[in-house]
A = this chain, B = another copy of it.
Amino acid sequence: MRATIREVAREAGVSASTVSRALSTPDMVNATTRERVLRAAERLGYAPNRAARGLITGRTGNLGLIVPDLTNPFFPSVVKGVQAKAREADYAVFLADTDEDPAAEVGLVRALAKQVDGLILCSPRTREEEIRELTAHTTLVMVNRRFGTIPSVVFGNADGMRQAIAHLQALGHRRVAWVGGPRTSWSTRDRVRGLRAASSAAGMELFVAGHFPPYFEGGVAAADLIIASGVTSVIAYNDVMALGLLSRLRDRGVDVPQDISVIGIDDIQMSAMSSPALTTVSLAKDQAGRAAVDLLLTLLLQPDSVRNTRRELPTQLLVRGSTGVARTT
């Protein structure tokens, strides 16, 4: 067992409250006393029990983070960002992976809610009514999704799509296909919305191939539709799917970028390593994590600060080998 505040108090020859103050509100205690206390604490290897502190302050110093599937390469970066920022603020983070099982989520959050000051929900497919229920339990911040008045951090999908379309257009493409992710995902809808706007503004013809699982296999499955559609370029919901696309296109003998240009979204590590390397709309995922923590902590300090309640992170097209000049049909 570790030293308690009382032991430190005795060691320093002061009362427990003085120790508490010396540690939490240093300027409310005499400099020399504080020195003595700090030294005693050091000597005993004392660190306050956060649970006990939380019991009285009502704040735990903990954060909760909920993700649907950690093996999806999008999420680890977000988690890292959250981690890093939380640690800087001396917060610890509870992580829960719902395993793509939205049903588990509510129970999970209930359990977590007691132990955290706030929750970061990074879960594009949770049903809206469930989210609403969650807000009753704790302070919530959402990543990669907007819902009602809940503070959120999202990516500038519209601008990303605009960049992608501009790039394709500059390469001479006139027809582009969209390989969508899950129908229920907020970012699928946001991205296709941005894409529609961008392509119509640019006078590009858009072929929406439909919804596919957000995995490699989803991209594989979409590839044949793409080929049949006769487009010269395609944008996929995420990089993993784009890699699936690349794989199947190669198997079909369709050369990238000679015959078809391919663009992904996300900039996962693997996208730079495929051949051809994948042109992609890069998302600052760790920044999103950091921003979410930032937002949450601000919210906890001043619950009524409505400003900055949604933060939009920039996206950046990364041009690599999978896009090239349009073939002359």
Contact B76 A2 (CB under 8 A): no
Assuming the contacts A2-B114, A71-B76, asked whether A94 and B93 have C-beta atoms less than 8 A apart, the reply is: yes
Q: Could you say which residues of chain B place their CB within 8 Å of the CB of A51?
A: 51-52, 54-55, 60, 114-115
Does chain B have a CB within 8 A of A183? Answer: no
Most chain B CB atoms below 10 A, which of A94, A244, A250: A94
Taking CB atoms, residues of chain B closer than 8 Å to A90 are 111
Chain A positions 1 through 37: 1 when the CB is less than 8 Å from some CB of chain B, otherwise 0: 0100000000000000000000000000000000000
The verdict on A79 contacting B84 (CB below 8 Å), with A2-B114, A270-B270 known, is no
A67 to B: closest C-beta gap in Å: 10
Q: Is the CB of B70 within 8 A of A92?
A: no
Closest chain B CB from A315 CB (angstroms): 19
Decide if A50 is an interface residue (CB 8 Å cutoff). yes
Chain A positions within 8 Å of B, measured between CB atoms, are: 2, 47, 49-52, 54-55, 60, 62, 70-71, 73, 75-77, 79-80, 83-84, 87, 90, 92-97, 99, 108, 110-115, 137, 216, 243-244, 247, 250, 269-270, 273, 275
